[in-house]
Amino acid sequence: MGNPVAVIAEAEGLTDEQMRTISRWTNLSECTFLLPATTAEADYRVRIFALDKELPFAGHPTLGSARAWLDLGHEPRSAGVVVQECGVGLVPVQIGDRTLSFGAPGLVRSGPVPKAARQMLTEALGLTPDQVLDAAWVDNGPGWVALLLESVETVLGVTPDLSRITDPEYRHFGVVALQPEGADTALELRAFFSDDTGALREDPVTGSLNASVAQWLEYSGKMSPPYVASQGTVLQRRGRIHVEGDGESLWVGGRAEVAVSGTIEVGEPTVQG
């Protein structure tokens, strides 16, 4: 009921194209490759692919990679914390009783989006300007833009039209709304991105976006951790993202389980006559 990620261990020797081929073949939102760390401070290095595109960081692949690395029998250098090396640097992952939580990286781009871009996204979502309360860059690697909407019902009801997003810079975006008092979770979030074919996809659970939205909501004074966010509702998933800490030290996580394990063979395509 969450979001699967493929984690390929012992990925040394794979070429960039082989990694992309494997990622496309899994047809999951992300596929990661475990490699030896290049620094003594890290436990392992990971490369993260979203089908054909390599990402410097992504949240749920970070947790899935750490879970797979631990499940393979590895022990972290520091008890209770796995340190991952990836495109944005070193990312710590706390090991809880049943959960893993990554330390949210800083934003590489923040601040309000231009008025024309906000209007473009509003129209692409089929909304009126008064239904969008705020919009900002919340980019911690993948290129996220977030829009705060008037209600959870509005978030759950949007059907984005990618053809109306004429600037490709804005094709990784999320919509979020605060839940009413007394709800089981604090906010509802949806994440959309265009894949390597140009089609629009919705991500069931998105650690990176939840991390950057939490930072945005806190520094804008709209909400502060700790809280639990829900995601994937429209996709009939039950994503629950736990956010703790503060703007100086924010931790984002949830449960991560190994569902399928095995081996694959990687070789050159052959043609049989």
Tens digits of residue pLDDT in 132-187: 999 999 999 889 999 999 999 999 999 999 999 999 999 999 999 999 999 999 99
Specify whether 90 is located in the same domain as 160: no
Which of 95, 129, 156 lies at the terminal end of a domain, its last residue?
A: 95
Q: Which domain holds residue 50?
A: 6-95
For residue 102, is it within any domain?
no
Q: Is position 61 within any domain? A: yes
Report yes or no on 263 lying in a domain. no
Domain assignment present for 144? yes
In a domain? residue 1: no
Among 95, 127, 154, identify where a domain stops: 95
Residue 70 shares a structural domain with residue 153 = no
Same structural domain, 177 and 216? yes
Say yes or no: 90 and 117 in one domain.
no
Q: Is the pLDDT of residue 273 over 80?
A: no
16 in any annotated domain: yes
pLDDT at residue 195 in the model: 77
Same structural domain for residues 140 and 170? yes
One domain, residues 72 and 145? no
- pLDDT tens for each residue of 11-62: 999 999 999 999 999 998 899 999 999 999 999 999 999 888 899 998 899 9
Q: Report the C-alpha gap between 92 and 82 in whole angstroms.
A: 6
Among 70, 95, 120, the domain-final residue is 95
pTM for the complete prediction? 0.86
Quickly state the pLDDT bin for 269 (edges 50, 70, 90): low
CB 91 within 8 A of CB 46: no
- The answer to the question of residue 126 being in a domain is yes
State whether 138 and 221 are in the same domain. Answer: yes
Read off the pLDDT of each residue in 84-98 and give the average, rounded to a whole number: 93
Residues 85 and 165 in one domain: no
Q: What integer pLDDT is reported at residue 272 of this predicted model?
A: 52
Considering the domain architecture, whether residues 179 and 144 belong to the same structural domain is answered as yes
d(CA 210, CA 244): 11
Shared domain for 241 and 184, answered yes or no, is: yes
Q: Could you tell me if 40 and 138 lie in one domain?
A: no
- pLDDT score for 248: 74
Q: Find out whether 238 and 204 touch, Cβ atoms under 8 Å.
A: no
Q: Report how many domains make up the chain.
A: 2
Are residues 146 and 90 both part of a single domain? no
Percent of the chain with pLDDT over 70: 97
Mean pLDDT, the chain, rounded, equals 93
Residue 190 lies in a domain: yes
**Domain holding 87: CATH number?**
3.10.310.10
